[in-house]
């Protein structure tokens, strides 16, 4: 499978704001995200599913998948930015036109529930996607300068490394290479039963919110019980686990997994559901060095020119 690396974003490009998960409760608030992006020099197109509702979802499965497929096929759209997460992405995975995506590679960005789409777009189409802030959840909600700067710097200029700088702590030191892969832990777990694990060695990035430590244990254990997952896992990088119930239990859990697996394991990457979050590519070949607290993205900047 050929790796598809989207072209960098440039002023004047059109960003498609796409709703494929939870309902947008404050429709007018989305206008703030549109203005934020337009003030940076971009055109904006908002999906119809941003204005509809089907119970706790923004639209019927078929409509949400249709909008995603159409946004990829639309030549006037240069990048796709999800509005929000919540739930719903796993319901449309079998309705996605992966061949159309191969023919129309472009930036696709989001986090949380959007992890399901990022993982499967890489697996089925070879598309490098982006763990990034979202239109409704971030740009429409007093986005921090840190988050905004990381977003535009990564998508406009490319990056050569990612610093693990949020009170970094190493649980098992070392250097590991593999593709940068992962996202929201509970969403990754929801993919069990599907063909979602990469064939390449991978550096696992994980984050979550409002999950007790025993559930984090259960989710990681379920993933590690899959032989291919365990065999391809080269290292673990923990992001933000917001609103955790017991920090001591969490520390003990990470230490236990690190020493059992004997692979580089580090905590402190700024990604997840906190206000400050990094934007970075998923699917790019990288090297993690816990001694430097850095993830080096091999040749990524030139590859997306």
Per DSSP, 95 falls in state G
Which pair of structure tokens corresponds to residue 149?
């700067």
Query: How far is it, in rounded angstroms, from Cα 85 to Cα 114?
Result: 6
Chain-centroid distance, C-alpha 24: 20
Query: In this structure, how many other beta carbons lie within 10 angstroms of the beta carbon of residue 1?
Result: 10
- Report the SS3 class of residue 276: coil
Closest CA to 107 of 85, 84, 132: 132
Cα–Cα distance between 288 and 274 in angstroms, integer? 23
For 138, the 3-state DSSP assignment is helix
For residue 296, the surrounding DSSP H or E stretch is strand 294-297
Which DSSP category does 137 fall into?
A: I
Rg (CA), the chain: 18
CA angle 28, 47, 281 (to 5 degrees): 105
Helix (H) or strand (E) segment spanning residue 230 = helix 227-232
The closest alpha carbon to 267, from 237, 235, 232, belongs to 237
The residue written with tokens 């001694």 in the block is 291
Q: Which residues are catalytic?
A: 112, 207, 273
State the number of CA atoms in the 13 A half-sphere of 118 facing the CB: 31
Three-state secondary structure call for residue 222? helix
């Amino acid at each position: 499978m050929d790796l598809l690396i989207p072209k960098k974003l440039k002023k004047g490009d059109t960003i498609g704001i796409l709703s494929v998960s939870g309902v947008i409760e404050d429709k007018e608030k989305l206008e703030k995200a549109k203005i934020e992006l337009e003030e940076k020099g971009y055109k904006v197109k908002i999906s119809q599913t941003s204005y509809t509702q089907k119970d706790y979802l923004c639209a019927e499965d078929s409509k949400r998948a249709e909008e995603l497929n159409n946004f990829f096929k639309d030549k006037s759209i240069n990048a796709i930015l999800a509005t929000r997460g919540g739930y719903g992405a796993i319901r449309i995975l079998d309705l996605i036109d992966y061949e159309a995506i191969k023919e129309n590679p472009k930036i696709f960005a989001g986090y949380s529930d959007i992890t399901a789409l990022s993982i499967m777009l890489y697996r089925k189409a070879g598309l490098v996607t982006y763990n990034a802030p979202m239109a409704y959840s971030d740009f429409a909600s007093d986005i921090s300068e840190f988050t905004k700067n990381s977003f535009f710097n990564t998508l406009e200029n490319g990056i050569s490394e990612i610093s693990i700088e949020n009170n970094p702590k190493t649980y098992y030191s070392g250097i590991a290479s593999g593709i940068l892969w992962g996202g929201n832990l509970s969403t990754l777990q929801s993919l069990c039963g599907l063909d979602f694990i990469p064939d390449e060695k991978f550096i696992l990035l994980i984050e979550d919110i409002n999950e007790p430590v025993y559930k984090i244990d259960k989710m990681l254990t379920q993933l590690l019980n899959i032989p291919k997952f365990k065999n391809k896992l080269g290292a673990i990088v923990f992001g933000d686990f917001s609103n955790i119930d017991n920090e001591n239990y969490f520390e003990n859990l990470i230490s236990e997994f690190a020493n059992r697996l004997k692979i580089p394991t580090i905590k402190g990457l700024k990604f997840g559901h906190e206000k400050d979050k990094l934007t970075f590519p998923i699917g790019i070949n990288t090297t993690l060095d816990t001694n430097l607290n850095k993830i080096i993205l091999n040749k990524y900047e030139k590859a997306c020119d």
